[in-house]
Structure 1
Amino acid sequence: MKKIKLQVCAWLSASLMLGSCGLDEYNPAGGTGGDKLATFEGWSGMETYCYEPLYGQLFSSFDFLAVAEGGTDLFLTSNNRTWGQQVFYYEGLTTNTNYTNKLFKQAYSQINSCNAVIEGADDVADGNADNIKVLTAEAKCLRAYYYSLLVTYYGNITLNLKPSSEGSNLSPQRSTYEALYTQMVKDLTEAAADLNVTPYNGDYARVTKKTALGLLARVYAQGAGEGLTENGVSYWKRAAEVAEDLITNQAAYGADMYTDVADVWANANNKNNKESLFIAAGPASKDAANYTSSNIFTYMYPNPYKLSDIYKTADKSNYLYGRINNNIMAPSKYLIDLFDAPHDTRWDNCFTTAFGEESMVQAGWGTYASMNRTLTAEICQKYGIADSNVGKTIYAYADLAYNSTNANGNQYPAKVWPKGDHSGNVANLIEVKNIYATEYPLPEDEDRFSIYLSKDKLTAEEKARRAYVTINIDDLFDSEGKYIENSTDGTNCYQMFPALNKFSWMYDGAFTSNLQRRNGDVAIMRMAEVYLIAAEAEQQLGNGTKAAEYLNVLRKRACRHASDYENYMKLDTASEQDVLDEYARELCGEFNRWALLKRHHAFETQLAKGNPRAAASFESKHYLRPISYDFLNQISNADEYGTNGY
């Protein structure tokens, strides 16, 4: 990984000195390296650069997330804000909307790099033939992935397989869906044949055979939504075949899946997560972290310091949750209601609903008692807490250590104070899988949290008995299912919402020098999605019973108790709605939902359920994102090429 990052930085430095123009020159390097590609070192350096936008751009910032999850039934803006309304609600979406404009350019820029690698493979004068074959296969796999983004979000764009060194095309023509999907299938099929089960040079961030097969199943499923066939066979059938082969032979392909949902999101499993088929790998050194790191988590968390009279730590100095001051992307009521929390552990493993404070006894920066908060009569009256709780103490939830020797810089990994132990003795601290996954339901006698968002509808009396602020999640929404915009009770409780914690990382190596950014790997695709694709394809082929079998694998492992499966979670058959709902429970927030709704032509029905504001604005043109303003300004036939109706 260190070698990869150094090579990427070398190509990035070159990019700063060169410009670009035209569709097939959306390469930050502005070209293909000239004579450098004749050597294995130069050619393989360009191949490494093909990975750059995965973590450098797509999966470490809010832009692509907003395109991939915004405007769906699963996520709204907190407090019904107008920020980001272009992608969340289809209000004012245009060709120069930053999110969609950037994705178009980022994908095309790396297609050019992939083209250069693939075209130049036969001209490499040195290097091992097997290595060249594998790296060429990697480039084909990545090219297909970048094209899949373009076709999914922008429709029948231009297929170009030549590097910019062979000349610019300033009058590009759109290709057919058939041509685009045929090429993606070809690239992924060839990549699957030539890639190994183990990654090149042991670098787990590189694509392997399981990556190509997983993406092939995904591409077939997306193409099925366009009504495509292959030799007279439905793409749904092809998606089922590839997904089922990967499931049946997963051990042979080096694929795997955790038996416990908690392990998927355990901090110890973030690096080289065995369930991941395709990874956007975070930085492995402090220098690399200065180049790129992630701030996605800051958009998906509320700021508990908005209730500063009961929550002490300001966001600017919050080492536990980070500087969570963007507070924009909140789960819809529809998504929240999909989780049967008493039986499905995906609720508490994916959403933070209880917010506590950190002490720093291990770090030597403070005492355990320094974070105590005593409930006053004024606080109790304000938040509906019973007078009998006046004088009770809220203690720290977590304690942070300090490590200055990690390659990523200063680190502050945390452990949890045991419930009921107020000794402040660090020897009693507990290691947990995910410090952001809190117990469901939060016990009434809990004293380590200041604020709790209850999925269960608690009465005023039930809330009053608890010595912490209790907010019913349902009360955060108005009658239409939108988040309320202002306080109705004189508090700031309306500014809270359940926080998707899939991109919040807490381990030795996750911290940067900026509390607004963290390091961690992001699964672009994981094995659970293959089961979902298999179920989706079988259901579309009319095999509801077979579809249920694949969904049940995911539902069974999510059970809170063994008895939950037969009594509550098991499906006998699966409808299209069952498939859409299970995708939401398993993959919410994982850059997947918009593509899924598109291929099922389900925006109209699903937005009405989960995103009423978007439903009011949605038009047929919104099945495609607008073509990039910057691209249209660089070609000579912009009017002919079109904007996708924007």
Structure 2
Amino acid sequence: MKKYTLRALSLLLIVLSMYSCSLDEYNPTEVTGDETLATFDGWKGMQTYCYSPLYDQMFSASDYLAVAEAGTDIWLTSKNATNTQQLFYYEGLTTSTNATNKLFKQAYSIINTCNAIINRAGNVADGNADDVTVLTAETHCLRAFYYLVLVTNYGNVTLSLDESTTNAVLNPKRNSVEEIYAQIVSDLTYAAEHLKTTPYENNSARVTKKTALGLLARAYAQGAGEGLKENGVSYWQRAKEVAEDMIANMNAYGAYLYDDVADVWAHANNRTNKEALFVASGPRAGESDAFSSGSLNNKLFTYTMADPNKLSEVYKTASKGNYYYGRVNNNLYAPSKYLVDCFSEYDKRWENSFVTAFSDFSMSKVGWVSYSSKTLTLTTDMCTKYGINTAFVGRKIYPYADVNAITRTYGGNQYVASIWPKGDHSGNVANLVTPKNAYVHPYPLDEDEDRFAIYLSKESLSAEEKAKRAYVCINIDDLFDAEGKYREASFDGTNSYQLYPSLSKFNWSYDGLNYGSNLQIKTGDMFIMRMAEVYLIAAEANVHLAMARKQPNILMCFANVHVAMRMIMKIT
């Protein structure tokens, strides 16, 4: 245990600030072994470590994204790539597959730390009793979350509530799914009872009462899919009760639902998002040297964004030098035809979630790249190759964004984009506007739009309709083959088959998230759960309860469906 404790605490200096928030620093060399966890400072330091996998790995590296979302009906691989077939298509998937193996080990490793914190809370000799209670409740909440991840993705795993010593358990036994969910519910119920509506030490990276309740609703809904009951009552009923209580008493729990989906993804709301119930808090550049000690590996946006430079004649900025989109060179997660068809072209969720029109950028504010140098003039060759009406030869395509470079002591330059207004070709930086989200563009794109070089249209445009537009037009439907997979080769004589509607929620542009010239990294906060999910859980629970009642209580059935529809309409 001493060796384990020292190893954990050696990492403490990295996570003490929760990447941005003010936790008191603790020197792990002052005490060792059991004595460490007997002092409040030592115990609190290790409790902070229970948060470490959230941003260090789970919500910043691609591994957990692959386990949680690859292989579902919402994602395909760009170009129908087969290098990740184990995760996307379950071909050759084994227990040694890196992503699944890594997540399994991370979760169990930190659960052991959680167990130590919970089991030793009563032995802390000093410290305020209320502080111990709150931090213990946080740990119950975190342990429940890690077990929920395990049971969701691996089924009936081993349930351990004791801290391991140097003696390994050589013959672990699987627990039933029912036993695991019962413990998750117990942990979250305890957490909800003892956590407050404001985070401990006003640290937004820490869990609160709304976190525990939101996860409890999620756990009940997930367990309901396994047919579980609690004291003879369906988990669907419990999910309904918890979710509807949260909805009815949002203010009391400090929860919130934005009226406009644009505010959910507004970059100014990333660090202080009122709708978020649970976040993985990223390091904040410019504030302190803690930024340099935090986890700087968040590259998720590089996996979900396409690279417009695949059409290099009309989009000349290469990925490695793209200060607007970032270095989007992984290009893997492409939305399935099913997911694309879930939205209408006039749906604000589509507009605020996916980049479908690609533009170049200037850097006039900082004087690095002039407006005129990023103004593209269409040539005959360009028009011929990309099917643009040759009547537009000589027409110009102007930058959409201008990227500033703000110097910061910690984190290096911060690249913040503002937008050139449509129709203003002056290049005057005084005319730039600051949008809620620099990656949300007008949709559908106007025929006379002159700030975008490439447009992926959800509506299938005819040849005549395309001929009215002085930019590359690609129908999204044409990116898929007859089997609904992304094409592996050109269908129009260009590299357009390598593009796809690009999920933008992992991509941000604001002061405080860049890591200097490393354009692959952006360290914004990741939302593990939002209040919108609680509405969906309430809706799903009502539908399942209505289906279970069927004819014997037809009025109640309709009532439940009506409630479900109101819940869904609230967030759409």
TM-score (structure 1 length as normaliser): 0.81
The aligned counterpart of 1:541 is: 545
Larger RCO, structure (CA 8 Å, separation 6 or more): 1
What percentage of residue pairs aligned between the two structures are identical?
60
Distance 2:381 2:122 in 1: 76
CA contact (8 A) 2:283 2:513 kept: no
**Do residues 129 (structure 1) and 129 (structure 2) align?**
yes
Number of the residue aligned with 1:605: none
Is the CA contact (8 Å cut-off) linking 1:449 and 1:468 kept in structure 2? yes
1:317 and 2:331 are equivalent in the alignment: no
> 2:439 matched to 1:425?
no
Counterpart mapping for 1:288-367 below 5 A = 288=291, 291-293=294-296, 294-342=298-346, 344-367=347-370
Question: What are the within-5 Å matches in structure 2 for residues 541-620 of structure 1?
Answer: 541-542=545-546, 543=557, 545-556=559-570, 558=572
Going from structure 1 to structure 2, the CA distance change for 1:264 and 1:550 (only over 3 Å counts) comes to farther
In 2, distance between residues paired with 1:536 and 1:215? 15
User: How many residues are paired up?
Assistant: 535
SS at match of 2:76: strand
* Aligned partners of 1:536 and 1:547 also within 8 Å: no
**Which secondary structure does the structure 2 equivalent of 1:413 belong to?**
strand
1:529 aligned to 505, 508, 533, which one?
533
Q: Quick one: distance in 2 between partners of 1:550 and 1:279?
A: 27
CA RMSD of aligned residues (A): 1.8
Alpha-carbon offset, residue 388 of structure 1: 1.1
1:165, 1:203 → 2: CA distance?
32
Paired position in structure 2 for 1:518: 522
Contact 1:289-1:519 within 8 A present in 2 as well: no
Contact kept in structure 2, 1:191 and 1:209, CA below 8 Å: yes
Partners of 1:72 and 1:66 lie apart in 2 by: 10
**CA contact under 8 A between 2:532 and 2:571: conserved in structure 1?**
no
Question: Structure 1 residues 9 and 380 mapped into 2: Cα distance closer, same or farther (>3 Å)?
Answer: farther
Determine if contact 2:14/2:290 at 8 Å carries over to the other structure.
Answer: no
1:10-159 alignment runs, 5 A limit:
10-11=10-11, 33-159=33-159
- Counterpart-to-counterpart distance in 2, 1:76 and 1:548: 34
Which amino acid letter does the alignment assign opposite residue 118 of structure 2? I
Please, what TM-score do these two structures have when normalized by structure 2? 0.91
- 2:475 — aligned with what? 472
**Other-structure match for 1:397:** 400
**Equivalent of residue 377 in structure 1, options 380, 390, 401:** 380
Task: Provide, for residues 461-484 of structure 1, a one-character-per-residue CA deviation record: whole Å limited to 9, x for no partner.
Answer: 211221111100000001111111
SS of the residue corresponding to residue 164 of structure 1 reads coil
Instruction: Give 3-state SS (helix, strand or coil) of 2:210's partner.
Output: helix
In the alignment, structure 2 segments of 5+ residues that lack a partner are 1-6, 16-31, 547-556
* Most deviating of 318-327 and 548-557: 548-557
* TM superposition shift of 1:550: 4.3
Instruction: Please give the secondary structure, in 1, of the residue aligned with 2:473.
Output: strand
Which runs of at least 4 in structure 1 moved beyond 6 Å after TM superposition? none
CA distance in 2, matches of 1:34, 1:490: 68
Distance across 1 between alignment mates of 2:8 and 2:274: 25
1-structure distance, mates of 2:467, 2:563: 44
Distance in 2 (CA, whole Å) between partners of 1:172 and 1:465 is 67
**Unmatched 5+ residue regions in structure 1?**
1-6, 16-31, 559-646
Cross-structure match for 1:434: 437
Distance 1:194 1:312 in 2: 56
Which amino acid is the alignment partner of residue 40 of structure 2? F
Tell me which amino acid in the other structure corresponds to 1:515: L
Query: C-alpha distance in 1, partners of 2:55/2:14?
Result: 19
Query: What is residue 549 of structure 2 aligned with on the other side?
Result: none
User: For 1:355 and 1:435, how far apart are their aligned partners in 2?
Assistant: 12
Please point out which of 438, 451, 455 is paired with 1:452. 455
Q: Residue type matched to 2:386 in 1? A: Y
Q: Give the counterpart letter for 2:232 in structure 1.
A: G
Residue number in structure 2 paired with 1:461: 464
Specify the code of the residue in structure 2 equivalent to 1:472: N
Aligned residue for 2:27? none
User: Partners of 1:557 and 1:307 in 2: how far apart?
Assistant: 37
d(CA) in 1 for partners of 2:132 and 2:351? 45
Q: 1:391/1:14 Cα in 2 relative to 1: closer, same or farther (>3 Å)? A: closer
8 Å contact from structure 1 (residues 117, 139) kept in 2: yes
Q: What is the CA-CA distance between 1:546 and the residue it aligns to? A: 3.2
